[in-house]
Amino acid sequence: MNHKGEITNRTLLYLSILAIFITLFGATVSFVKLGKVELPLITGLAASSTATGTVNVTISNTISISLNTSFVDFGNGSLAAAPSYTPINTTAGTNPSTFNEPYGLVIRNDGNVDINLTINGSTAAQFLGGTTPSYMWNASDNESNSCGASGLNYSTKNITGNITAMSNTHTRVCSNLTFADATDEIIIEIYLNLSADTPAGRTYTDTAVQLRGEHFIG
Amino acid sequence: MKKGYLILLVLAMILPSTTAIGLSPTSIFINYEPGVTKTFNFFIVNNLGVDMDASLYTDGEYATFITFKEPVVRVAPWQNKEVAASITFPSTLLEPGPHHVKIGAVENPANRVTQGIAPRVGIEMKIKFDIPYPGKYARFQLDIPYINTGEKLPVTLTTKSLGKETINTIQGTITISNDEKIQSILPVTINSVQSEEEKSYHQVLTTENLLPGDYHAQASLTYDGIYGEANTDFRIGSRYVNVTNYTKTFEQGKIGEMIIAIAGRWNGNIDDVYATIDVAQEGRGITTLKTPSISLGPWESSILRTYIETATLTPGYYDIVITLHYLGGSTVEKGQILIYKKIHINTTYILIVAIALIVIIDILWLLRKRKS
């Protein structure tokens, strides 16, 4: 029985369908705004229009070197009596008297090319006083294979491993210091032989030491 | 007094404990024009967290050609500073051929603690230019990269005309050989190369008929009747790692280190390379050793290490089989090792024998003296 003013079942059905439609429409609009659904929903492969892009990046060769320290300071100490000499160095061995135990010069190739590394500085006579002092250095890998391939001895390797007197002219340290992170460090140890008659009461400084890197292929 | 120490401490923390300098690029080519000034730029690189002053200089026969806008350049921390420079070519004649001037930058030691040995770091780059030869002159360069078997082989011949006159035609061949056997011949023709102009010939070859190995390529060319050539070597790689050497003698009673030298023949990285070593005597298995894994770069040689306990092994020769494992494959190398016993000389026994000999000689001498 249908009473006046009451909503019929059919009307309720229509209202329900309308509510569902409005809900679906609202949800679709929301998703499109959020970018979750793209319209038109039917898509296809473009037959002829193709857009392409090219990205070019050129990396320049950069030569860059760094040192672990800006000075090697042996501090102060007493000298052995004549005719002996007092040897001090940057290697692991203990220096005599109260001399410091400075670390050697670690050179790292920070660039993106292999480099040829040379060193020059004052001579022993220019740097130190006394009778025939010596001022020498040698180089070795601080990270294995940094200066050439493994398995080679110093006579065939690209590194100056024998102890060499410091000279005013640039001398080869390593002719092929590589740049890969794990193999880009070498160490230069410094050796001084101080004469017993080295004048006391003054500080000896060599500011002429220069480590020079160059990449001269071709 | 305490305040003074504090200032010193702060200064020690601020002052740089390292020195560094960089330069980019490593070389610049400038086209030569007599009587003309040309400008160029390069960068000084500061890889430190403090300001850096770099002093610039030039070196070489033609160093005076170069002028810097600023001879000393200040570079901010972690920054690159662009430097403007110019090169002035004189109107007078220069010696024909390739030339260069070195440009250097040295870190300036101002405001730095200097005591003991205070090194500075410097770097150098090249400014290159070519002076044309009279008449016709061509420079050739042949470039062929290392590849792997089955890959395409790009062959590039580049020529640059360094003479004052135009080259009309370059003709010739590129011959590719392996073990002195000719594998391929490519005809080459390049037309009209102006003075200072660079032109390239490019060809891509298939390598189905080329075996892995070392190759030589030679370009033999004539340009307007003048002969020229260029050579290069290249390799075709295979998935192969070779045993080139290994430790062959060990002292008995010790833990001996066995080193195996290996060489990769692949134009790419080979990860997880290791060896197993089977040791046997007269067909009887004694022990099996294994090395840790390593990675090999393209065409890289390296070594594998393991250790052999020789305390229980009798002196003599042992058969070994070294098996290299890599990329799902293996290489087998057979050989022998020698376990030897070191002879220890007891100096006490030598001294006893020496003294006994002296006593015997003395007795014999005394007996002889008595008889006489």
Q: H or E stretch including A17?
A: helix A9-34
Tokens 């560094």 correspond to what residue? B20
User: Among B26, B45, B106, whose Cβ lies nearest the Cβ of A210?
Assistant: B106
Q: Are B125 and B159 part of one and the same domain? A: no
How far is Cα B358 from Cα B372, in angstroms, rounded to an integer? 21
User: Among B15, B17, B302, whose Cβ lies nearest the Cβ of A150?
Assistant: B302
Cα A209 to the chain's mean position, in Å? 23
Pairing relationship of beta strands A85-89 and B198-205 according to DSSP bridges: unpaired
Chain B residues near any Cβ of chain A (below 8 Å): 15-27, 43, 45, 47-48, 102, 104, 106, 109, 112-126, 261, 301-303
Q: Do the chains contact at B116 and A64, CB–CB below 8 Å?
A: no
How far is Cα B369 from Cα B372, in angstroms, rounded to an integer? 5
Q: Are A32 and A136 part of one and the same domain? A: no
Six-digit token string for A17: 């369908």
B306-357 confidence digits (pLDDT tens)? 999 999 899 999 999 999 999 888 999 999 999 999 887 777 888 888 888 9
Q: Are B196 and B119 part of one and the same domain? A: no
Q: Are A13 and A108 part of one and the same domain? A: no
How far is Cα B152 from Cα A96, in angstroms, rounded to an integer? 65
How far is Cα B162 from Cα B223, in angstroms, rounded to an integer? 12
Q: Are B212 and B250 part of one and the same domain? A: no
Q: What single letter denotes the amino acid at residue B244?
A: T
User: Among B24, B115, B116, whose Cβ lies nearest the Cβ of A60?
Assistant: B24
Q: Are B124 and B10 part of one and the same domain? A: yes
How far is Cα B17 from Cα B106, in angstroms, rounded to an integer? 17
Residue A149 lies in a domain: yes
B166-204 confidence digits (pLDDT tens)? 999 999 999 999 988 999 999 999 999 998 899 999 999
Cβ-based burial of A196 (10 A; exposed 0-12, middle 13-18, buried ≥19): middle
- pTM higher than the cut 0.80: no
Contact B83, B68 (CB under 8 A): yes
Q: Are A116 and A154 part of one and the same domain? A: yes
Q: H or E stretch including A16?
A: helix A9-34
Q: Are A37 and A69 part of one and the same domain? A: no
Q: Are B14 and B127 part of one and the same domain? A: yes
With contacts defined as CB-CB under 8 Å, which chain B residues touch A89? Answer: none
User: Quick one: pLDDT at residue A152?
Assistant: 42
Q: Are B15 and B123 part of one and the same domain? A: yes
Pairing relationship of beta strands B120-131 and B27-29 according to DSSP bridges: parallel
Residue of A nearest to B260 (CA): A151
Q: Are B122 and B144 part of one and the same domain? A: no
The dihedral of CA B70, B76, B77, B78: what is its sign? negative
Tell me which of B101, B131, B161 is where a domain ends: B131
Q: Looking at the complex, report in whole angstroms how far the Cα of residue B363 sits from the nearest Cα belonging to chain A.
A: 49
Q: Are B278 and B311 part of one and the same domain? A: yes
Q: Are B53 and B126 part of one and the same domain? A: yes
Cα A97 to the chain's mean position, in Å? 37
Q: How many domains does chain A have?
A: 2
Mark B128-163 as b/e (b = at least 16 C-beta within 10 Å): ebbebbeebbbbbbbebebbbbeeebebbbbbbbbb
With contacts defined as CB-CB under 8 Å, which chain B residues touch A205? Answer: 114-118
Residue of A nearest to B127 (CA): A216
| DSSP-assigned letter for residue A8 | P
Q: Looking at the complex, report in whole angstroms how far the Cα of residue B164 sits from the nearest Cα belonging to chain A.
A: 23
Residues of chain B with pLDDT under 50: 1-16
Q: Looking at the complex, report in whole angstroms how far the Cα of residue B109 sits from the nearest Cα belonging to chain A.
A: 9
Q: Are A104 and A194 part of one and the same domain? A: yes
Residue B69: CATH number of its domain? 2.60.40.10
Q: Looking at the complex, report in whole angstroms how far the Cα of residue A190 sits from the nearest Cα belonging to chain B.
A: 9
Cβ-based burial of A128 (10 A; exposed 0-12, middle 13-18, buried ≥19): buried
**A154 vs A138, A165, A176, B304, B335, CA distance in Å?**
11, 17, 13, 22, 30
Segments forming the whole domain that contains residue A153 = 65-214
Residue of A nearest to B124 (CA): A214
A32-55 confidence digits (pLDDT tens)? 665 555 555 545 445 445 566 777
Residue B314 lies in a domain: yes
Q: Are A25 and A82 part of one and the same domain? A: no
With contacts defined as CB-CB under 8 Å, which chain A residues touch B117? Answer: 71-73, 121, 190, 205-206, 209
Q: Do the chains contact at A209 and B118, CB–CB below 8 Å?
A: yes
User: Quick one: pLDDT at residue A203?
Assistant: 86
Q: Are B81 and B142 part of one and the same domain? A: no
Residue A98 lies in a domain: yes
Q: Do the chains contact at A210 and B27, CB–CB below 8 Å?
A: no
How far is Cα A84 from Cα A201, in angstroms, rounded to an integer? 20
Q: H or E stretch including A107?
A: strand A105-109
Q: How many domains does chain B have?
A: 3
Mutate to test the interface with B, among A67, A174, A181 (most CBs of B within 10 A): A67
Q: Are A146 and A208 part of one and the same domain? A: yes
Residues of chain A with pLDDT under 70: 1-7, 29-52, 149-157, 216-218
Q: Looking at the complex, report in whole angstroms how far the Cα of residue A150 sits from the nearest Cα belonging to chain B.
A: 7
Helix (H/G/I), strand (E/B), else coil: A119? strand
Residue A200 lies in a domain: yes
How far is Cα B226 from Cα B138, in angstroms, rounded to an integer? 9
With contacts defined as CB-CB under 8 Å, which chain A residues touch B125? Answer: 63, 214-215
Q: Do the chains contact at A70 and B112, CB–CB below 8 Å?
A: yes
Q: Are B6 and B102 part of one and the same domain? A: yes
User: Quick one: pLDDT at residue A39?
Assistant: 52
Six-digit token string for B246: 């290994």
How far is Cα B138 from Cα B170, in angstroms, rounded to an integer? 9
Q: Are A185 and A79 part of one and the same domain? A: yes
Q: Are B149 and B120 part of one and the same domain? A: no
Mutate to test the interface with A, among B117, B259, B301 (most CBs of A within 10 A): B117
Q: Are A36 and A89 part of one and the same domain? A: no
Segments forming the whole domain that contains residue B296 = 241-340
